Amino acid sequence: MNLKLLVFILFWSICSDIWSQQFPNYHLGTREGLPHSIVYRVMEDQRGFLWISTEGGIARYDGTNMQCYAAESGLEADMVLHVSEDENQVIWANVYLAGPHRLVDGKFEPDQPLRGKWPLVPVKSVHTPGRTWCLDADGFLYVKDGDEVKQDTSLGDGKIFRDMLVCTDGRMVVLTTKGLYTFLEAGTWQKMDLPSEIKEVECMTVDASGALWLANQQGFYRLENGKVSRYLPWEKENPPDQFVVDRAGKVWASDFESLYLEQEGSYTNVTSRLGRKDLKINHLFIDHQNNLWISTYGSGLICVQSVQILNFLSSLPQLRSPINAITHTQDKLYFACVGLISQYEEGIISPVYSPFHGRKDYPYFIQKWGENLIVGNPSGAFLFDPDEPEKQKSLISEGVLAAYIDSSGG
């Protein structure tokens, strides 16, 4: 983890209850270049670009600039419900009432000559080697195998398909009204034998390790070797309609109108910490840098930055609140907390020095000076070696609020 970045984020939270603060986030709307404020989904391609599907076309975002695709870029309708990437790095767009389009030489075009066989309202596409799968708004599943597109009726002719995803090991998994199925290389579906405690499934996702997660009204289940390796109860009136798992293992879930974050087995409504009201959430996505992207209906796109840092902050119960100051060496963080100095190294928090008695002795600041640390409080300032804190040296015997080290080290 970048210690300088971590120090910056920690400093933002000084003298406060960390989780009562607004999340560090930024907003992308039409002013920032989005073609529309209604955002359906976000997809990250193999090169790291984000593809944002909106009511008014597509935006490709590189972290700084947006390139938009609309009618002049070949899209036959403005509303794009989903963008995906196949194994050949070809970008596909699911266009409302116009079917799947492919990006060819910088422009989108319908998948000719098969456009009449694709559904007109494709809501999601995924790709497995040699195949493209497309789910439509009515619950029918279509598959392109070679030069042929056909509707998959092997599980029944009804409107049974609700969602689909591809696991990191290449398995294709579909959620249907009859249960969960995986697609076998032989070209057939196999029903998944779920543990008995999972009665019904509302939605599913895959975490960074490749594990499959399922959710229902009762909670969230992480499956490993066909068994539940982790269970988190939900305990809300409405079931989650979608969720993601960040790289620290935290679950972020939505019931369309609210965003929830799992903390120590319970879920907190954190919508207000995004700094926005009346949020309607279409989609949640975690990118490779562990940023959380929230696609909204009418409020554009919201990015909660550095989710791993927020999770780091929430996992430090050993620290006393408030944290008055932070500094760092090459491989350690030092915190000036209420009544003591603590250090963080390789995931472990430990006290370094605790000479303070009463509020008047609480440390106000901590600063690295060479191989030593300077600590100041209302009684003065002193210098000590963190490896030998008992050998402290008094610098000044009057109250000190801050210190500054110039470029020469003075």
Residue 3: the pLDDT is 52
Task: With beta carbons less than 8 A apart as the criterion, state whether 182 and 176 touch.
Answer: no
Q: If you average pLDDT over residues 277-304, what whole number do you get?
A: 90
Task: With beta carbons less than 8 A apart as the criterion, state whether 381 and 403 touch.
Answer: yes
Percent of the chain with pLDDT over 70: 80
Q: If you average pLDDT over residues 19-24, what whole number do you get?
A: 55
Q: How far apart are CA 78 and CA 199, in angstroms?
A: 39
Residue 19 reports pLDDT greater than 90? no
Q: If you average pLDDT over residues 303-313, what whole number do you get?
A: 60
| Tens digits of residue pLDDT in 190-201 | 999 999 889 889
For domain 22-313, give the CATH superfamily. YVTN repeat-like/Quinoprotein amine dehydrogenase (2.130.10.10)
Q: How far apart are CA 27 and CA 11, in angstroms?
A: 22
Give the lowest-confidence range in 32-36, 154-158, 178-182. 154-158
Distances (CA, A) of 298 to 54, 56, 71, 82: 10, 12, 21, 17
Task: With beta carbons less than 8 A apart as the criterion, state whether 296 and 282 touch.
Answer: yes
3-state SS record for 268-331: EECHHHHCCCCCCEEEEEECCCCCEEEEEECCCEEEECCHHHHHHHHCCCCCCCCEEEEEECCC
Residue 350 reports pLDDT greater than 90? no
Residue 5 reports pLDDT greater than 70? no
Task: With beta carbons less than 8 A apart as the criterion, state whether 323 and 336 touch.
Answer: yes
Residue 347: the pLDDT is 60
Residue 1: the pLDDT is 44
Q: How far apart are CA 298 and CA 187, in angstroms?
A: 41
Q: Of 177, 221, 174, nearest to 198 (Cα)?
A: 221
| Tens digits of residue pLDDT in 108-145 | 999 877 777 888 899 999 999 999 999 999 999 999 98
Residue 331: the pLDDT is 67
Residue 164 reports pLDDT greater than 60? yes
Residue 306: the pLDDT is 62
Out of 47-51, 331-335, 369-373, 379-383, give the one with best mean pLDDT.
47-51
Token code pair at residue 129: 């080697």
Task: With beta carbons less than 8 A apart as the criterion, state whether 28 and 301 touch.
Answer: yes
Question: What does the domain layout of the chain look like in residue ranges?
Answer: 22-313, 316-396
Query: Strand 57-61 relative to strand 50-54: parallel, antiparallel, unpaired?
Result: antiparallel
Task: With beta carbons less than 8 A apart as the criterion, state whether 173 and 167 touch.
Answer: yes
Q: If you average pLDDT over residues 338-350, what whole number do you get?
A: 70
Residue 6 reports pLDDT greater than 60? no
Average pLDDT, the chain: 82
210 φψ region: left (φ > 0), alpha (ψ -120 to 50), beta (else): left
For every residue of 230-278, DSSP letters joined together read EEEE---SS--SEEEE-TTS-EEEE-SS-EEEEETTEEEE-GGGGT-SS
User: Under 8 Å CB-to-CB from 155, ≥6 apart: which residues?
Assistant: 176, 178, 181, 189
Q: Of 306, 310, 288, nearest to 50 (Cα)?
A: 288
| Answer CATH for 316-396 from 3.40.50.300, 3.40.50.1860, 3.40.630.30, 2.110.10.10 | 2.110.10.10
CB atoms within 10 A of CB 387: 9
What's the full length of the chain, in residues?
410
Out of 17-21, 79-83, 401-405, give the one with best mean pLDDT.
79-83
Give the pTM.
0.72
User: Under 8 Å CB-to-CB from 188, ≥6 apart: which residues?
Assistant: 154
| Tens digits of residue pLDDT in 201-248 | 999 999 988 899 999 999 999 998 889 999 999 988 888 999 999 888
Residue 9 reports pLDDT greater than 50? no
Task: With beta carbons less than 8 A apart as the criterion, state whether 132 and 146 touch.
Answer: no
Token code pair at residue 347: 């995931």
Q: How far apart are CA 180 and CA 189, in angstroms?
A: 10
How many Cα atoms within 13 Å fall on the side-chain side of residue 184? 8
Q: If you average pLDDT over residues 302-328, what whole number do you get?
A: 60
Q: How far apart are CA 405 and CA 321, in angstroms?
A: 26
Residue 276: the pLDDT is 73
Dihedral sign for Cα atoms in the order 81, 86, 172, 76: positive
pLDDT band at 16 (very low <50, low <70, confident <90, very high): very low
